[in-house]
Structure 1
Amino acid sequence: MTELYPFTPSGPSRRSTLRAAGGGTLLLGLGLAGCRSAVSEASSEPQGASAAPKRGGVLNIAVNSDFTPALLFSQSGQSLQHRLIYNTLTRYDDRLSPKPELARSWTYAKDGRSITLRLRDDVTFHSGRRFTADDVIFAVKNLQNPVRAAQLRATAATVTGFEKRGDHELVLKLTHPVNNLFDLFEFMIIADSETVEDAVTGKKLIGTGPFRLTKWSPGSGLSLTRNDAYWQAGRPYLDGVELRVIPQADALISSLRSGQSQLSFNVPGKSLGVVKSDPHLTISDYDTGGGAVYLGVNTTVAPLNDRTVRQALAWAVDRDRLLAQTLGGYGLASAAPWPKSSPAFTEAHRTHYSHDPAKARELLKSAGHSKLELPLLHLALPGDTAIAESLQYDLKQVGVHVTLQPTDPATGQKKLISQDMPALWTMGHGFAQVQPSTLAVSAYPFNEAKNTSKYRSAAYTKVVREAWTKPESGTAEANAQHEKISSILLDEAFLIDLVVRGQVQVAADGLHGVTLNKFSYLNLDNAYLV
């Protein structure tokens, strides 16, 4: 099957956007119902474009944690800047249909064992070096390196052969078919092979993207300037981007309201009401399901090695209250990880666990427990602290007393990767918004081979591997595999999903054309300020 696409710059065609002044009831209603997607890359028109895009200006983005170079090739809450500096091979639209980026077109072999990529021949790195097939080969091999801690390493590892057909055509040969290869292509940033070791220490970040790194000030943020040699003619419109670290919620909101910052994705849910009252700010919800709030469980810590105890925790949490009071009403209360856009989503899975403290206490009693004392790790950020406090309250009602353990985001991510978590933790996960098999093959909390909960099951591994190597979602066979994965996740409860949510964007009303890809990489190719 050959898929051939003409290139058009990405830009949203649908957006759930609320003007900050008024609309309070609408805000909560949209959030509880699950907002429509804020991003569709099928259109080339910038969002909110009421006039011709304006060239110039520097966009100031408020972020709540600093760039961590060591995590450059993994997806985390610190991946926002990836698409500003780097490109990817392809990008999904809302329907998980891949569209061209550095790959112009592709041909998938009928047996699913190889794919031929035809690459753009007009692309250069920030250093001036031409982009070729060798850079794709390097990118795949780079993710195969376990040192990079890339979540999609297992998918990258299925590529075991490379056949170059000139500088801009490449055949990737696979050990076996996988249905999430385009997840890899959207996840995998194309970095400069000559400076990659400097990249992972923050000395140089050289890609083919719309902006070049001019300075990284640890603790303060990144300064980027326009790439005048960008392969998209006339893009970007902005002269530069400043990502400024503002960890305190009050200071971040003040920065937005004063106009010192024009964009942020890190306003805590409890603070959205303050933002909503400002007529110069706009709130937008990216309901891609690119993120979810969860309660992690270390299954090697007694009594959490007992599935009954884990299920009790799942019944104890009031997901609707967490969503409404702590997350500002944005998201979808759900016991399963899947957003509504996922082919794996079902209403039965979403509501599998409701808030039932009596049932939670009954299960704990049947397991021989009336009171438990456990630690709960969380990120030391305002929004994450509020989530941890909400969980602490709910669990206390059923006799589970947790001691909060705040930690900085970089340390938290490293603990997640190294499986060094205490009995309980709460963080966010992604990877449920793409091919369903990717979640269980790649995401650290769910990985069938090595997950943070240290949960092991031959049955889980078998189901996940079968789902990964079968045809893409949409077939009866694929749907049956999704059902099996969901059933294991819900029954075993080694990870307890709470709320599925996308990114919540707060922006100045003069900013237009902002999009995110499926992995929440920020795309400012078409962004402009008026």
Structure 2
Amino acid sequence: MISKRRALVAGAAAAMLMLSACSSGNSTDSASAGGPSGDPVSGGTGLIIEQAEPRSLDPALISNSWANSPVLGNALYGTLMIDNPETGDIDFKLAQDFSSTDAGKTFTLTLRDGVQFSDGSPFNAAAVKFGWDHIKDRATASPDIPQASLIDSSRVLDDRTLEVTLVEPVPNFANAILQTSMNWIASPASLQAGQQAIDSNPIGAGPFTLEQWSRQDVIKLTRNDKYYDAPRPYLDKLEIRAIGDADQRYNTLVSGGADLTLEGNWSNIDKAKNAGLQNAVVPTGGGTTLVLNSTKAPFDDARARKAFALALDLDGINNAVYDGTAKLPHTLFDESSPFYQDIPLADEDRAEAQRLLDELAAEGKPLNFTMSLYPSGKALGEAIQTQLSTLNNIKVNVRTIDFAQVGQILGQMDYDVITNAVVFGDPEPRLWFGLHGASAGNYSGVKDAQMDAALDEARVSQDEAERTAAYEVVQQRLVELNPVIFYVRSAPGVIANGNVGGIQQYGMGSVLPEMLWIQAHD
């Protein structure tokens, strides 16, 4: 049977997974960025750049997306399963199977036989249950609580088998695992020992083990000889550094200070393509958003949200922030998606925006708000302030927030506007998380009965026509309500020098370190 997601991504993948001009792609698994020809070469140290350093090596606290630390999580803990962004099919690694016989209400996870943690203890179903319960526990403060909370209960049937019952049917629940930290299982004993212990000696079943973590500098990893998938990993060591600044990431790569960098900046991906470097982007729907907090003034008024959305020139933002290189989300779904509808999310209409602003001001509510942005969002903030400065009865302030603050800020909804993302291949379960009124991941706080009902229907249905009709309602309600403003398609990307082989992405731009190898220069 054809994967439900295949039609969504196959065409986009062909366009987006770009090969370098001087190398040949030889992988059909997940996203291939091309690389040196020939068989993999063992040995050497891979120098990796990620965009953020984790606050802990507890897998529940490492985000499994291109914008965070997914290579580190994959390296320490391995992966239960991955997807192929070109087809949407699920491939198994530490898991052997994950399937449902009742339309997604109950799943059975079967683990690969004979897998060990790096300390020699057994990698078993009890460990998976412990890890998923750990993520679900609100005291853990994992960013992936919404996905783990889909689980109502789980039961260990034997060492290799875990039965999982969901709160409600989610046929595409595998996506919730492979796109999050649920894909990474640590030894229960190491988790029970506390954060200090796991930060100094994390025990996983991944291809690498921790050698040294010098905070704000480098994380050094060494090959795990107990890794199940010999002869992988090919590299002897990894050195991972976090660089949030896009220019610094790119310059470090091209100057030889790194072999590969995870990338989310369209300008850097465009520069890499023009320079003949390896580059690839996992195709997605949705995108990066400005989240408007609809639970309090000023954006509890739908007119304020509409005015802000209509006032923005996305092409102008693209030019100012991404040098005109970004792909823009004019519609919720990409044209290659089976769920695509020509329903513009927010067409610029400054005259109507000004009318709404004047109407609010006449009621004593001129629009005054603060955008909470990361340091890397300086250009975005300046572009928006410049655009809106030509309108009356609106004032835009900017505050800079640190990555370490974001969990608390989001949890307390301590913002007027904040950047976030609603990004997906297949829409479920991520679209539900980002927009449903009952979801903890709905950071706009919007509650709309029509949109909630449509999201619920699309989540449980296995009929493409029914899902298409439901998502049409979702798009119409987004246009009406403007709880978030999609301003750029996300770019779950990777760029690398030409001698790096085996680049493979899955999920939200997560790269598999065990596949990487480096061809020595002649």
- In the superposition, the TM-score normalised over structure 1's length comes to 0.82
Tell me, yes or no, if the aligned pair for 1:58 and 1:238 is still in contact at 8 Å: yes
In 1, Cα distance between the equivalents of 2:265 and 2:84?
28
* Paired position in structure 2 for 1:67: 54
Check 1:46–1:359 CA distance in 2 against 1; reply closer, same or farther (3 A cut).
Answer: closer
In 2, Cα distance between the equivalents of 1:130 and 1:237?
24
Tell which deviates more after alignment, 241-250 or 371-380: 241-250
Shift of 1:230: 1.1
* Paired position in structure 2 for 1:405: 399
**Paired residue secondary structure (1:496):** strand
Tell me, yes or no, if the aligned pair for 1:84 and 1:209 is still in contact at 8 Å: yes
**Paired residue secondary structure (1:501):** coil
Shift of 1:131: 0.9
**Paired residue secondary structure (2:200):** coil
**Paired residue secondary structure (1:185):** helix
Deviations 1:303-334 (A, max 9, x none): 32211221121122222232344224554311
Matched positions, count: 492
Tell me, yes or no, if the aligned pair for 2:152 and 2:166 is still in contact at 8 Å: yes
2:371 counterpart of 1:380: no
In 2, Cα distance between the equivalents of 1:253 and 1:73?
23
Tell me, yes or no, if the aligned pair for 1:256 and 1:508 is still in contact at 8 Å: yes
2:228 counterpart of 1:235: no
Query: Of 233, 251, 254, which residue of structure 2 is paired with 1:254?
Result: 251
**Given residue 29 of structure 2, which amino acid in structure 1 is its aligned partner?**
E
**Paired residue secondary structure (1:55):** coil
In 1, Cα distance between the equivalents of 2:372 and 2:331?
21
* Paired position in structure 2 for 1:127: 119
Deviations 1:244-282 (A, max 9, x none): 233445543332222011222347555667656656xx1
Tell me, yes or no, if the aligned pair for 2:153 and 2:166 is still in contact at 8 Å: yes
* Paired position in structure 2 for 1:6: none
Query: Of 253, 263, 288, which residue of structure 2 is paired with 1:293?
Result: 288
**Paired residue secondary structure (2:158):** coil
Query: Of 292, 303, 311, which residue of structure 1 is paired with 2:306?
Result: 311
**Paired residue secondary structure (2:456):** helix
> 1:301-340 counterparts in 2 under 5 A?
301-340=296-335
Deviations 1:1-26 (A, max 9, x none): 9x9xxxxxxxxx966336489xxxxx
In 1, Cα distance between the equivalents of 2:82 and 2:137?
23
Shift of 1:379: 0.1
Deviations 1:473-521 (A, max 9, x none): x522222222222222222111111111222323111112122221332
**Given residue 373 of structure 1, which amino acid in structure 2 is its aligned partner?**
N
* Paired position in structure 1 for 2:455: 464
In 2, Cα distance between the equivalents of 1:181 and 1:38?
30
**Given residue 93 of structure 1, which amino acid in structure 2 is its aligned partner?**
N
2:512 counterpart of 1:527: no
2:45 counterpart of 1:58: yes
Tell which deviates more after alignment, 69-78 or 268-277: 268-277
Query: Of 155, 169, 182, which residue of structure 1 is paired with 2:174?
Result: 182
* Paired position in structure 1 for 2:9: none
2:213 counterpart of 1:216: yes
> 1:54-133 counterparts in 2 under 5 A?
54-69=41-56, 72=61, 74-75=63-64, 77-80=67-70, 81-94=72-85, 95-133=87-125
Check 1:319–1:387 CA distance in 2 against 1; reply closer, same or farther (3 A cut).
Answer: same
Tell me, yes or no, if the aligned pair for 1:515 and 1:522 is still in contact at 8 Å: yes
**Paired residue secondary structure (1:288):** coil
**Given residue 312 of structure 1, which amino acid in structure 2 is its aligned partner?**
A
Deviations 1:222-242 (A, max 9, x none): 211111221112101111111
Tell which deviates more after alignment, 123-132 or 102-111: 102-111
- In the superposition, the TM-score normalised over structure 2's length comes to 0.84
**Paired residue secondary structure (1:440):** helix
**Given residue 229 of structure 1, which amino acid in structure 2 is its aligned partner?**
K
Q: What's the Cα RMSD here?
A: 3.3
2:32 counterpart of 1:41: no
Check 1:449–1:273 CA distance in 2 against 1; reply closer, same or farther (3 A cut).
Answer: closer
2:352 counterpart of 1:359: yes
In 2, Cα distance between the equivalents of 1:512 and 1:492?
46
Tell me, yes or no, if the aligned pair for 1:115 and 1:171 is still in contact at 8 Å: yes
In 2, Cα distance between the equivalents of 1:495 and 1:123?
43
In 1, Cα distance between the equivalents of 2:210 and 2:252?
23
* Paired position in structure 1 for 2:480: 491
Check 1:53–1:194 CA distance in 2 against 1; reply closer, same or farther (3 A cut).
Answer: same
Check 1:497–1:375 CA distance in 2 against 1; reply closer, same or farther (3 A cut).
Answer: same
* Paired position in structure 2 for 1:167: 159
Shift of 1:368: 3.7
Deviations 1:441-462 (A, max 9, x none): 3x4x766444322323344444
Tell me, yes or no, if the aligned pair for 1:333 and 1:499 is still in contact at 8 Å: yes
Check 1:371–1:38 CA distance in 2 against 1; reply closer, same or farther (3 A cut).
Answer: farther
Check 1:270–1:449 CA distance in 2 against 1; reply closer, same or farther (3 A cut).
Answer: closer
Tell me, yes or no, if the aligned pair for 2:26 and 2:37 is still in contact at 8 Å: no
In 2, Cα distance between the equivalents of 1:74 and 1:273?
25
In 2, Cα distance between the equivalents of 1:291 and 1:411?
25
In 1, Cα distance between the equivalents of 2:152 and 2:295?
35
In 2, Cα distance between the equivalents of 1:231 and 1:56?
18
Query: Of 467, 488, 491, which residue of structure 2 is paired with 1:478?
Result: 467
**Given residue 495 of structure 1, which amino acid in structure 2 is its aligned partner?**
V
Shift of 1:337: 4.5
**Given residue 504 of structure 1, which amino acid in structure 2 is its aligned partner?**
G
Query: Of 179, 189, 193, which residue of structure 2 is paired with 1:194?
Result: 189
In 2, Cα distance between the equivalents of 1:155 and 1:63?
23
